[in-house]
Chains A and B, each alone.
Chain A
């Protein structure tokens, strides 16, 4: 299948997965995974970053439409989409010539783990801070970030283990 179509499919798959399934889990009454951010991890690195930033924003924005959250998801996913390159430089020590060959599956697990955890926690922290929208209940924001991040990460790593093609 053409790679572009694959990402259009991934886009809508993640959107509907998040809105209709993952958002109704509410484990212990408040813990939800926010798995749609793997769009940011999987989108290929390219020289021209405008499409990537725009599609990430659009995915967050569509989720906002469904969940009545204004622009919070769009804000937080765009934030990690922008920071992605910075963390790739730090963790994987890539230069611009390597970008087109970069693939998460070929990298050592330790580095991938650090990279994914950093971006996930940043995203969740921004999301919950805005969803709370006051300086009261700050402990709520931190516990929500902590538990939801764990939930998202477990789902992500289990998913990649199960669906990875390398046997």
Chain B
């Protein structure tokens, strides 16, 4: 007993050090593995509140470019609206006025209050949470393409697992054919992601557009991702191609969060 007390006396700092290090390691491993309850994140009231204060200030510096992006998106959507109107009125002139009949997705707008693209496991924070109807695993996009999937959701803020995260896997396909693969990131360049597991017979050309496939309950079909920038000609098992993103992931501000209204139905069917 005497010796035991002596031992603790002698190594008390080392033991305390070890104790704190183990706590830190536990949080690290917990954070790096996807689909686990997380405690240390920037979506809580204090950090989220401070981040949104900080973006309130820094937002003024790029109002001009944001306005331009919004105007471009408006332009694109107006064009789409014109097209769809003409189709509707040609086929059927009755207007169905039932809320959410046949509607598959709802959109919520949000603002990114913390962006990150230089690390290997990038996580973003947005200023929407449970109070605004955000749930875990909802798609996050902006006008130029996909951004990520919501992860930890708190009352007013949530975190997004960016596509620039080595844990991310997203179903994607070629726009001109229905060959699909899975989209991941190797952690090297924040403009370039990798599409792997494409079938060998899929015709690939540099410059082909890649969009999300309809195989997951998270992303709707046909959201733009990027274009093929490099094709791996050697024979590798996973048949990887490099995709240059349409989005500039280092400059994000307003995003849309997509809720799939049929998600629960599809999941209950699949399980």
Contacts and interface: CB of A to CB of B under 8 A. Distances in A.
Interface stretch (A88-96, A128-136, A149-157): A128-136
Contacts of A134: 166
Interface in B230-265: 250
Contact of A66 (B21, B42, B190): B42
A40 B236 CA distance: 48
A133 B120 CA distance: 8
A70 B24 CA distance: 8
A57 interface: yes
A68 B13 contact: no
B150 to A, nearest CB: 13
Interface stretch (A3-11, A26-34, A106-114, A158-166): A26-34
B54 A67 contact: no
A78 interface: yes
A64 B40 contact: yes
A93 to B, nearest CB: 21
B40 A70 contact: yes
A39 interface: no
A70 B30 CA distance: 7
B135 interface: no
Interface residues of B, number: 40
Interface string A57-91: 10011001111111110110011001000000000
Contacts of B187: 132, 136-137, 140
A68 B24 contact: no
Contact of B28 (A26, A30, A130, A132): A130
B44 to A, nearest CB: 7
A65 B42 contact: yes
A99 interface: no
B54 A68 contact: no
Given A68-B42, A70-B31, A53 B118 contact: no
B116 A131 contact: no
A54 interface: yes
B13 A49 contact: yes
Nearest to A29: B118
B119 interface: yes
Chain A contact surface mostly? helix
B20 A53 contact: yes
Contacts of B47: 65-66
A140 B118 CA distance: 12
Interface string A28-57: 011010000000000000000110011001
B60 interface: no
Contact of B31 (A60, A69, A79): A69
B42 A32 contact: no
Contacts of B31: 68-71
Contacts of B40: 61, 64-65, 68, 70-71
A78 B17 contact: yes
A131 B17 contact: no
Contacts of B159: 68
Task: From A68, A69, A137, name the one whose CB has the most chain B CB atoms within 10 angstroms.
Answer: A68
Contact of A68 (B21, B23, B41, B250): B41
A74 B27 contact: yes
B81 interface: no
A69 B119 CA distance: 9
A20 interface: yes
21 contacts: A20-B50, A53-B13, A57-B20, A60-B24, A61-B40, A65-B42, A67-B42, A67-B116, A68-B40, A68-B114, A71-B23, A71-B27, A71-B28, A82-B14, A131-B119, A131-B120, A131-B121, A132-B120, A132-B187, A133-B32, A137-B120
